[in-house]
Amino acid sequence: MRIADVRAYALRATIPRPFGQSQAFGNARSAVLVEVVSDEGLSGWGEAGAGRHQEPARHFVDGFYRPALLGEDPLEVERLWEKLFAILVTSGLTRGSTIQALSGVDIALWDLRGKALDLPVYKLLGGAFRQRATAYATGLYYTDDADHLAALREEAAGYVAQGFRAVKMKIGGASPREDLRRAETVRAAIGADTHLMIDANQAYNAFTARAVGRDMASLDVGWFEEPLPADDIDGYLELKAALSMALAGGEALYTRFAMREFLARHAFDIVQPDACNTGGITEFRRIAALASTWGVQVNPHVWGTPVALATSLHLIAALPPTPPCRVPTPLYQEPVLEFDQTPNPLRTDLAVEPFRLRDGYLDVPQGPGLGIELDHKAIERFRVA
């Protein structure tokens, strides 16, 4: 079997009401999908993390990776990862969009490999420790609602009613005092038995993050995510020493090389590699192996289409409890799945069967490859390039 084509699809959907976090506010969602086609007519699909900037990743797939992949054996996924990475190394292009694009290609190759071998990706990865993943709701962003606290209260209570046992809210987009009011509102709405996580998206310096963490400590925070700029290892270590709550980060770190110091110095309690950002399934697995060496929990960051969700579900299925114990518990030994609940037609409309929460869990897909079927008409509907 040989690779006959590699295609990148830039997708964009506008949403009726804008929302935001500490770094951005907007009314559109975007994604880059990658399709690798074999000469036997099989297609594997991957997703390249795009955020607000789709064009660089799409360009790298079309201009750099496609020519390097045509005619290659798509089953040799890890060798192909190294071949593509080698294109970047001497030019210093080993961060950001180039790695997001490589992630999309790598995930598509794993999907294709699973389809060719008629096995779900989690079996290719060595087997499932669990057939469903505890999902937490990501939402509770900043909105332009006239009564923002009432809107937060209603949204948070809605997640509990749907069966979520954990929710994550945004902070860092208002003053620490206003964010404390917002977090107190959410905690009151979800009750004591639902986990609450806070995510600053890199909005603070160490002294502000320390003050915010101390203010929020009484709210029983499950983890404090990206309190600091992504590269600030010493800031993370300082904060870890000062706060009792777990620190999480890593969604904006690319490849194991960027993760190495954070893991070796134990700067995170929880590392959150995003398979669509950090180098695909291949690199996520290497990062997870490193993390286990230093006892760091792995909870994947997920933000995107059903391709990103399915990829993360297979990866979670194959992650062992850390550390092993008799009753592995979500958020303590068991990995948990980030399930974005913000408005996004690219998450809800691209798969023939959208992912649905059942009893607080998402099921790991059982079909070959990633185990999802994409709606090609919907892809064309949202395609901008």
Q: Does 199 bind Mg ion (CB under 5 A)?
A: yes
Number of chain positions touching Mg ion (CB under 5 A): 2
d(CA 289, CA 263): 11
Instruction: Give the CB-nearest residue to Mg ion.
Output: 199
> Among residues 26 and 67, whose Cβ is nearest to Mg ion?
26
* DSSP annotation string for 282-321: HHHHHHHHHHHHTT-EE-----SSHHHHHHHHHHHHTSPP
C-alpha torsion sign, points 123, 127, 130, 136: negative
Site for Mg ion in 206-225 (CB under 5 A): 225
Closest CA to 188 of 166, 219, 142: 219
> CB-wise, 2 or 52, nearer to Mg ion?
52
CA distance linking residue 219 with residue 68, whole number of Å: 51
Pick the stretch among 93-101, 129-137, 193-201, 360-368 that binds Mg ion (CB under 5 A). Answer: 193-201
Residues with Cβ within 8 Å of 268's Cβ and at least 6 positions away in sequence, in order, are 236, 247, 248, 249, 250, 262, 296
Q: Which lies closer to Mg ion via its Cβ, residue 116 or residue 174?
A: 174
Q: Other C-beta atoms within 10 Å of 56: how many?
A: 16
Binders of Mg ion in range 225-284 (CB under 5 A): 225
Question: How open is the CA angle 279-253-128, to the nearest 5 degrees?
Answer: 50
Measure the CA dihedral 146/152/153/158, to 10°. Answer: 120
Smallest gap from Cβ 239 to Mg ion, in A, equals 16
3-state secondary structure at position 162? helix
Does residue 301 have an active-site annotation?
A: yes
Closest distance to Mg ion from the beta carbon of 251 (Å)? 5
Q: Taking contact as CB under 5 A, which single stretch among the options 37-45, 192-200, 204-212, 289-297 is the one that binds Mg ion?
A: 192-200
Check 148, 195, 266, 301 and give the catalytic one: 301
Q: How far is the CB of 197 from Mg ion (least distance, A)?
A: 9
Q: Which stretch binds Mg ion (CB under 5 A): 60-68, 82-90, 113-121, 191-199?
A: 191-199
The nearer residue to Mg ion, 106 or 251, going by C-beta atoms, is 251
The catalytic residues are 301
Residues lying near Mg ion in the complex (CB under 5 A) are found at 199, 225
